């Protein structure tokens, strides 16, 4: 049995802890926060093998430049003199090409399918219900241009073994009999699923505590002690901790934590917002994404969650209500019968998604330090890829054959 220290307790850290404690290891989670917020709580809860295309893709740069000048658009980069942001942008630009997308799609698909299989197993192994439903995902569009783009995405998905069906407006409506849908058409991915993320995270924390996992919260990591190419101890505000193996799963903070180890792990925080409508009388059945404004909609029991935006603003916890208004204003264009008032600022949740410049996570052991593993940079797919990544962490620590090839996720690729 090894002593494993996991820095970060979002869904990636929690999933890693779950599979490692299941393997018989003594696990400690260290987090600078108090477990009451973070990207894993208020997101859209989608499990999406359909999301094969990384953020760094052809067309994203020109789209992003257009969106930047619209105060309620789904994407924004805060103009600032920041060398890390400049380097990240340059790397993003270099990755935004067709060859990168084709290569990345296979790796993302394999990790997504592994993670979905782990979710299916978790529904059997865990004693609590976290709202896992396999109802698919609807990608809804209103314009001919978006229809063309999405049909190409559907074709690519089918080519990679992920089923995608192009639907007319009438066929979309048939899948949503309780709610009027006003669209040109949509693409349906029947293999996708969704959960209620805050239930999973809260219950998983309790489960792990019950099973001996130690949580060291409100504890910021300040440095590391190194000896013989190993991390000898993790230095925090509340003392030093020694582990046999260390996993960095600190999300948007991973770049800064890695710098303490002289590792180059480019990362930017992509802020997203969500709010939840309780007690919806006539709810949607299938999660959907409004493609033009990039808004995600997920039914969670009798509630309905709306989420969106990608603000590259650094680690910034302010809430821009103009962006939230963009989400609210989009809803009647797609679901005209769902009446949504502008939420109060205190009812808007925000999370900082950890974005690598090539849109791929950092997963694997480092060569620089023998006992260091990274599991971070999952962007908008943290919930979707969490259990798969956690399973890989246990396999890496246990020196087992890995469930999939992680070479494209090399944490030292920069």
Tell me the CATH number at 134: 3.50.50.60
pLDDT reported for residue 364: 98
Tell me: the pLDDT tens digits for 280-326? 999 999 999 999 999 999 999 999 999 998 888 778 888 989 999 99
In a domain, 52, yes or no: yes
- Whether 69 has a pLDDT exceeding 70, the answer reads no
- Give tens-digit pLDDT for 101-131: 999 999 999 999 999 999 999 999 999 999 9
The answer to whether position 30 is within a domain reads yes
Gap between the Cα atoms of 246 and 231, Å rounded: 8
Q: Which domain holds residue 268?
A: 3-409
In a domain, 351, yes or no: yes
For residues 140 and 136, what is the distance between their CA atoms, to the nearest angstrom?
A: 13
Could you tell me if residue 414 is inside a domain?
A: no
Whether residue 309 is contained in a domain is answered as yes
Q: What's the pTM value of the predicted model, to 2 decimals?
A: 0.95
Residue 174: inside a domain: yes
Counting the structural domains of the chain, the total is 1
How far are the Cα atoms of 25, 330, 394, 397, 405 from residue 401, in angstroms, in the given order? 18, 46, 11, 11, 10
């Amino acid at each position: 049995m090894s002593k494993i220290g996991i820095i970060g307790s979002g869904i990636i850290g929690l999933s890693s802890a779950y599979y490692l404690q299941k393997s018989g290891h003594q696990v400690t989670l260290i987090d600078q926060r108090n477990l009451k917020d973070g990207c894993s709580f208020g997101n859209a809860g989608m499990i999406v093998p359909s999301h094969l295309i990384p953020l760094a893709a052809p067309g994203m740069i020109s789209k992003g430049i257009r969106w930047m000048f619209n105060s309620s658009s789904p994407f924004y980069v805060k103009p600032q003199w920041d060398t890390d942001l400049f380097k990240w942008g340059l790397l993003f630009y270099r990755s935004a090409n067709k060859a990168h997308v084709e290569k990345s799609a296979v790796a993302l698909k394999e990790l997504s399918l592994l993670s979905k299989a782990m979710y299916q197993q978790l529904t059997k192994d865990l004693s609590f219900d976290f709202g896992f439903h396999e109802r698919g995902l609807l990608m809804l569009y209103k314009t001919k241009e978006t229809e063309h783009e999405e049909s190409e995405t559907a074709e690519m998905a089918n080519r990679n073994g992920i089923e995608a069906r192009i639907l007319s407006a009438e066929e979309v409506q048939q899948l949503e009999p309780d709610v009027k849908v006003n669209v040109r058409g949509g693409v349906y991915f029947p293999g996708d699923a969704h959960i209620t993320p805050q239930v999973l995270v809260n219950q998983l924390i309790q489960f792990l505590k019950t099973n001996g996992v130690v949580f060291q919260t409100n504890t910021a990591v300040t440095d590391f002690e190194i000896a013989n190419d190993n991390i000898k101890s993790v230095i925090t505000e509340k003392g030093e901790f020694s582990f046999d193996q260390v996993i960095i799963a600190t999300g948007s903070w991973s770049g800064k934590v890695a710098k303490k180890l002289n590792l180059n792990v480019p990362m930017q925080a992509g802020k997203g917002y969500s709010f939840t409508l309780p007690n919806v009388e006539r709810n949607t059945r299938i999660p959907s994404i409004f493609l033009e404004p990039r808004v995600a909609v997920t039914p969670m029991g009798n509630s309905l969650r709306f989420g969106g935006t990608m603000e590259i603003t650094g680690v910034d916890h302010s809430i821009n209500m103009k962006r939230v208004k963009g989400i609210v204003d989009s809803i009647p264009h797609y679901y005209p019968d769902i009446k949504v008032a502008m939420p109060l600022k205190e009812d808007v949740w925000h999370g900082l998604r950890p974005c690598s410049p090539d849109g791929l996570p950092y997963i694997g052991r480092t060569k620089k330090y023998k006992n260091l593993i990274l599991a971070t940079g999952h962007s908008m797919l943290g919930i979707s890829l969490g259990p798969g990544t956690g399973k890989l962490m246990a396999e890496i620590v246990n020196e087992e054959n890995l469930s999939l090839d992680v070479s494209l996720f090399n944490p030292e690729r920069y």
